[in-house]
Amino acid sequence: MPEISNLSMLTVIIFVLIPVSLSYLYSLGIAKTTIWSSLRGIIQLILIGYVLTFLFEITDWIAVTLAVLVMISAASWQAGQRGKGIKNAFLVTFTVLAIIEGLVLILWIGFNIIPFESQQVIPMSGMVIGNSMVASALALERLKNDFSVHKGKVLAALSLGATPPKAANIIIRNTIKAAMIPSIDGLKTIGLVQLPGMMTGLIIGGASPIEAIRYQIVISLSIFASVSLTSMFVSAIAYRSFFNKDMQLVEIKEND
């Protein structure tokens, strides 16, 4: 592949400034977040690019497990930022992601899909954890928004004798569906709109198309299942933070 010049990199950076400028124009309030996210992403990629050389040489299963736990912790913290004010948002997200990642690894390793080696576990787990992080962040943010918008309906249901699960049923269902939309749409269009990264990389690396397809199917379905379970479990647990022990609706504040 041709080497990307510094000028080309600068052009891409300038391209990012277009939505930043438009966010100011439309008063979206995301300009600073966009700039910070872009800079942070670049720095993280530079660092991890060198760290991966070290990580892929790890053979100790304890070290590999710790690396995965670090990834889950970072993902949980980032998703938890979307759920500020929701009680134990980080802990809920971390627990759900850890359990689901554990189930995925048991499936992969138990059925000899991949060996428990850093070169296999870390990048594949990163895809699962990353997509699950997005789903949990969407779920937490959607819960906060819907409980605020539909506060009157929830209060009315409670006043008529509905239990918190019953009063919040529609909100929970809509939250789960909204968090799953990106994954569902991605699965529908994989190979048509977006070319699968793992399959493409394996074919370029010399693997047979059939083997590359098998790996892509495994990771795609694993991601879909993980995202679905994450959306369901995070929503089903986090909604409880909007009710107190007396089954009354409480207001969630960002600075709580």
pLDDT value of position 256? 42
Query: Alpha-carbon distance 110 to 227, whole Å?
Result: 21
Which residue type sits at 96? V
CA distance 168 to 149: 12
Residue 152: its pLDDT value, please?
A: 94
- pLDDT, position 48: 79
The C-alpha angle 177, 41, 98, rounded to 5 degrees, equals 50
Structure tokens given for 154: 């929830």
- Both tokens of 212, joined, read 């590359």
Token pair, residue 82, equals: 């979307």
pLDDT reported for residue 1: 55
Distance separating alpha carbons of residues 149 and 152, to the nearest angstrom: 8
Please state, in angstroms and rounded to a whole number, the distance separating the CA atoms of residues 97 and 118. 19
To the question of pTM greater than 0.85 for the whole model, the response is no
Q: What is the mean pLDDT of each run of 10 residues along the chain (256 residues)?
A: 74 82 81 84 83 76 91 95 91 97 95 90 94 96 94 94 94 95 87 75 85 90 95 96 92 63
Least Cα distance to 197 among 103, 112, 131 occurs for 131
Dig out the tokens for 47 from the structure.
């660092």
Give the integer Cα–Cα distance in Å for 79 and 134.
Answer: 7
pLDDT at 2: 63
What DSSP letter does each residue of the chain carry, written as one string?
Answer: -PPPPHHHHHHHHHHHHHHHHHHHHTT-S-HHHHHHHHHHHHHHHHHHHHHHHHHTT---HHHHHHHHHHHHHHHHHHHHHHTTTSTTHHHHHHHHHHHHHHHHHHHHHHTTSS-S-HHHHHHHHHHHHHHHHHHHHHHHHHHHHHHHHTHHHHHHHHHTT--HHHHTHHHHHHHHHHHHHHHHHHHHHBTTTB--HHHHHHHHTT--HHHHHHHHHHHHHHHHHHHHHHHHHHHHHHGGGGB-TTS-B----TT-
Please tell me the distance from the alpha carbon of residue 220 to that of residue 200, in angstroms, as a whole number.
Answer: 13
| Residue partners of 157: CB distance under 8 A and separation at least 6 | 166, 167
Instruction: Give the CA distances from residue 128 to residues 48, 60, 124, 189, in Å, rounded to whole numbers and listed in that order.
Output: 18, 22, 7, 18
Give the model's pLDDT for residue 40: 86
